[in-house]
Amino acid sequence: MTTKDTMLEVKDLHASVGGNKILRGVNLSVPKGEVHAIMGPNGSGKSTLAHVLAGRPGYEVTKGEVLYKGKDLLAMNPEERAREGVFLAFQYPVEISGVSNVYFLKAAANAIRKHRGQPELDAIDFLQLVKEKAKVVDIDESLIKRPVNEGFSGGEKKRNEIFQMAVLDPALAILDETDSGLDIDALRIVAAGVNQLRSPDRSMVLVTHYQRLLDYIVPDVVHVLLDGRIVKSGGKDLALELEKKGYEWLEAPAGSR
């Protein structure tokens, strides 16, 4: 596979958090336009992988490399990654009192536009964009004007993440446990929003513990992450198999450790 078609190429990635080795040689290749699900039990390293890809300080890469559109992703700081088109939807979106959701997003959108050589949006153009993108996840405009995630319900926080993704228009979206804490109605809305954002130019990595999300967002490929390594990859049916059989049957496949 040439890097031209590949959005994300993770090679033998090892990472530690607080001195604990979490990722122990992840290999992953996500072609442009595809949606890949990464499943695994708690503690398998799913969220760590998501945060390492977004560049979270304190998540130390000890070995391996990550190419994003053929560029060395690990050499970039978090804001550079975002400006290059990487987006992380947080499992636990951070509440930031005193910072307006909409203005923070305008600052972010313009930082990205500037990086791309596009003209910055003024307040009127930006509000137009916000109105349009708010429809993607049916988010209330009053929420958009409130302080970032402050006092939002779990469902509102997740919607806000997908709303931000819609506004920032990333090439690679990493969704960390986007289904956690959502009731079925909220899950449908969030999933419908994500599906609207699927495009031949955008790749997505869905990190999830449960198969449930994948009923609504059907992945092209499913990977199983166990003990810091991807131990099995397959089509969307693999998720169903995992739902039935759990992860135990994969735990010590001969020769993979």
Partner 1 sequence: MTAAAAAPVFPAEVVRWREQYESFRATLPAEEPEWLRTLRATAIGAFEELGFPTTRQEDWRHTNVAPIARTGFQIPPATANVADLAVLDTLDFGHAFARRQLVFVNGRFAKDLSSADTADGVYVRSLREVLDRQPQLVQPYLDRQASGPGRAFAALNAAFLDDGAFISIPEGVVLAEPIHIVFLSAPASAPTASHPRVLVWAGRKSQAAIVESYGGPADAVYLTNAVTEITVEDGAVVDHYRVQRETSRAFHVGTLCVTQGRASRFSSHAIALGASLSRVDIRQVFAGEGGECMLNGLFLAGDRQHMDTHTWVDHAQPHCTTRELYKGIVDDKARGVFVGKILVRPGAQKTDAIQSNKNLILSRDALVHSVPQLEILADDVKCKHGSTTGQLDPLALFYLRSRGIGEEAARALLTYAFASDVVQRIGIAPLRAGLTEHLQRRLPGPADMKEAAL
- Considering the rule CB under 8 A, would residue 48 count as an interface residue with partner 1? no
User: Three-state SS for 166?
Assistant: helix
Query: Side by side, which strands form the sheet with 221-226?
Result: 86-89, 172-176, 203-208, 35-39, 221-226, 229-234
Contacts 24+ apart (CB under 8 A), 120-129: 127/102, 129/167
Question: Which residues does 255 contact at the CB level (< 8 Å), separation at least 6?
Answer: none
Shortest gap between Cβ of 173 and partner 1 (angstroms)?
Answer: 12
Tokens encoding 129: 């964009």
- Considering the rule CB under 8 A, would residue 77 count as an interface residue with partner 1? yes
- Identify which of residues 162 and 239 has a Cβ nearer to partner 1 in the complex: 162
Q: Which of 12, 79, 138, 251 binds partner 1 (CB under 8 A)?
A: 79
Tokens encoding 56: 């979270």
Tokens 């003209």 appear where?
A: 119
For the chain, the maximum distance between any two Cα atoms, rounded to a whole number of angstroms, is 60
Question: Which residues does 64 contact at the CB level (< 8 Å), separation at least 6?
Answer: 10, 11, 12, 13, 14, 25, 26
- Identify which of residues 99 and 218 has a Cβ nearer to partner 1 in the complex: 99
Q: Which stretch binds partner 1 (CB under 8 A): 15-23, 85-93, 195-203, 207-215?
A: 85-93
Shortest gap between Cβ of 201 and partner 1 (angstroms)?
Answer: 18
- Identify which of residues 97 and 256 has a Cβ nearer to partner 1 in the complex: 97
Say which DSSP state 231 is in: E
- Considering the rule CB under 8 A, would residue 60 count as an interface residue with partner 1? no
Tokens 């009923």 appear where?
A: 215
- Considering the rule CB under 8 A, would residue 71 count as an interface residue with partner 1? no
Q: Which of 103, 141, 235, 252 binds partner 1 (CB under 8 A)?
A: 103
- Considering the rule CB under 8 A, would residue 112 count as an interface residue with partner 1? yes
- Considering the rule CB under 8 A, would residue 83 count as an interface residue with partner 1? yes
Q: Which of 18, 19, 98, 255 binds partner 1 (CB under 8 A)?
A: 98
- Considering the rule CB under 8 A, would residue 119 count as an interface residue with partner 1? no
Binding mask 186-225 for partner 1 (x = CB under 8 A): ----------------------------------------
- Considering the rule CB under 8 A, would residue 96 count as an interface residue with partner 1? yes
Which of 84, 107, 100, 87 has its CA nearest to residue 144? Answer: 100
- Considering the rule CB under 8 A, would residue 106 count as an interface residue with partner 1? yes
Angle of the 123-134 helix axis to the 154-168 helix axis, nearest 10: 120
Positions that interact with partner 1 (CB under 8 A):
54-58, 77-79, 81-83, 87-88, 90, 93-94, 96-100, 103-109, 111-112, 115, 147-148, 164, 168
